[in-house]
Amino acid sequence: MSITKTEIMEQASRRSSELIELTSQLIRINSENPTGSQRPVIDFVKQYLEDSGIAATEIAANDEFPCILAKIGSDEGYSIILNGHVDVVPAGDLSKWEFDPFGGEVTEKRILGRGTSDMKAGVAGILFAMRLLNESGAELTGNVRLHIVSDEESGGQYGTKWLLTEGHADGADACIVAEPTSNYTIEIGQKGSNELILKAHGTPAHGSLGNYKGDNAILKLGKVLSHIGELHEIQGKFPQEEAQALKNSRLIAADKLETPGIENVIDHVTASVGLISGGTKLNVVPDYCEARVDIRLPIGADEAEVEAKIQSIIAQSGALDVEYEITWKATGNYTPINAPIVQTVKKHAEALWHIDVLPAYQWASSDARYYREMGIQTIQYGPSNTEGIHSYNETVDIEDVLNASQIYLMSLCDLLGVN
Ligand SMILES: [Zn+2]
């Protein structure tokens, strides 16, 4: 008789100390990006998989930032990718830490260190789930593929995006990215980040005559910039079936960001002037100024509508000769709330945590979008204490780590025919 899901879960509970130790081991390997080397952590992951009886392959676009691929199950059937990054942001000023960021210390309730939440606990959770599923000998009606990357925190060009252009996600049906989330949120969509450049030309003159002579490019651009926030009036368009996800997302944004009206970032365009440069010298009326604006599109936003609005802002500012360039890089993207991967993870997360778990959209973006762009149903769900991420004193709760890994494992069982 073949092994049951219940028996696999009993194994996971019995061996939970292995998962805690695995997380701690990953923390003890410094993998700061951009300052550190990714070689030791990638070697460790490869060895862990091989010790689990799983063949692992290393591939790299850049030898300093290798990726690990692995697969268990059959070639046919439902195919699920597990994705995680092993690089971490630099620890920064060590005197601001209350513990050694690379000590991997385990307390009664927590694991401490750089990368615990973002996202070595998540990586440990998917590695452990894959190991248990493989060692169980359960027959799968599909397969699990592993994508471990070492370049996410510093540009990411050697990580997930590269793996996908090399064809390593071809044919997959679903993907779980184990990036940190709240335990009550499954991230199922995000906004698209784009760049707008505004350029103003003027006429130079001596600074002493500035009120009378010359045409000041900085002031001209300022007239447009003071209205650029009006792009926020543009709304996304969400299919009727996704109404609940939109409602959840607005609720979560209001709750977490604690600023009146901020839930509108979910379903409206946002525009943030991030960079400006202009002028050559204090005593010269500037003849050139340029600004770069971070434009985020919600799901269903119309690029042509955004462009028309930019034109109308320029026209109304009176600075008619201000030019613009937009680089469209990403649209809002989502996985349907009723997708099997969403509903399965939701069911198991709710059963373990005894809370409502809300599928929702992020206001920012991540590697998940590359999978979604390929039509792969993708979610993010991972263990974390969000307050330490990219900051000092990063930690993760042991309960979070154990539950997340169990949720991955049970979801894989359900989606791959292990009952
Ligand atoms: Zn991350």
Q: What is the pLDDT of residue 366?
A: 87
pLDDT digits (tens, 9 = 90+) for 102-133: 999 999 999 999 999 999 999 999 999 999 99
Q: How much of the chain exceeds pLDDT 70, in percent?
A: 100
Distance of CA 275 from the midpoint of ligand 1 (Å): 25
Distance of CA 27 from the midpoint of ligand 1 (Å): 14
In this prediction, residue 1 has a pLDDT band, given cuts at 50, 70 and 90, of low
Distance of CA 364 from the midpoint of ligand 1 (Å): 12
Identify the structural domains of the chain with CATH numbers, from first to last: 5-180+382-415 (3.40.630.10), 192-234+269-327 (3.30.70.360)
CA distance 120 to 114: 9
- Angle at Cα 392 formed by Cα 387 and Cα 394, nearest 5°? 55
pLDDT digits (tens, 9 = 90+) for 207-228: 999 999 999 999 999 999 999 9
Q: What is the pLDDT of residue 153?
A: 87
Q: Is the pLDDT of residue 241 over 80?
A: yes
Distance of CA 152 from the midpoint of ligand 1 (Å): 7
Spell out the residues 6+ positions from residue 212 whose beta carbon is closer than 8 angstroms to its own: none
Distance of CA 177 from the midpoint of ligand 1 (Å): 9
Taking Cα atoms as reference points, which of 235, 19, 199, 178 lies closest to residue 111? 19
Q: What is the pLDDT of residue 246?
A: 98
Whether the CB-CB separation of 22 and 124 falls below 8 Å is answered with yes
Total-model pTM:
0.93
Q: Residues 17-39, buried b or exposed e (16+ Cβ, 10 A)?
A: eebbebbbebbbbbbbbeebebe
Q: Is the pLDDT of residue 272 over 70?
A: yes
Q: Is the pLDDT of residue 388 over 90?
A: no
Distance of CA 73 from the midpoint of ligand 1 (Å): 27
Spell out the residues 6+ positions from residue 288 whose beta carbon is closer than 8 angstroms to its own: 199, 200, 201, 202, 217, 278, 279
CA distance 78 to 263: 36
Taking Cα atoms as reference points, which of 123, 93, 98, 97 lies closest to residue 26? 123
pLDDT digits (tens, 9 = 90+) for 335-373: 999 999 999 999 999 999 999 999 999 998 889 999 999
Q: What is the pLDDT of residue 386?
A: 78
Distance of CA 366 from the midpoint of ligand 1 (Å): 8
Q: Is the pLDDT of residue 155 over 80?
A: no
- End-to-end CA distance of the chain: give it in Å, rounded: 12
Mean of the pLDDT values across residues 259-263? Answer: 96
Distance of CA 34 from the midpoint of ligand 1 (Å): 14
Running DSSP on this structure, what letter comes out for residue 191? P
In this prediction, residue 160 has a pLDDT band, given cuts at 50, 70 and 90, of very high
Distance of CA 231 from the midpoint of ligand 1 (Å): 29
Running DSSP on this structure, what letter comes out for residue 109? S
Mean of the pLDDT values across residues 45-69? Answer: 96
DSSP lists the bridge partners of residue 187 as 360, 380
Residue 371: phi, psi to the nearest 5?
-70, -45
Q: Is the pLDDT of residue 37 over 90?
A: no
Total length of the chain: 419
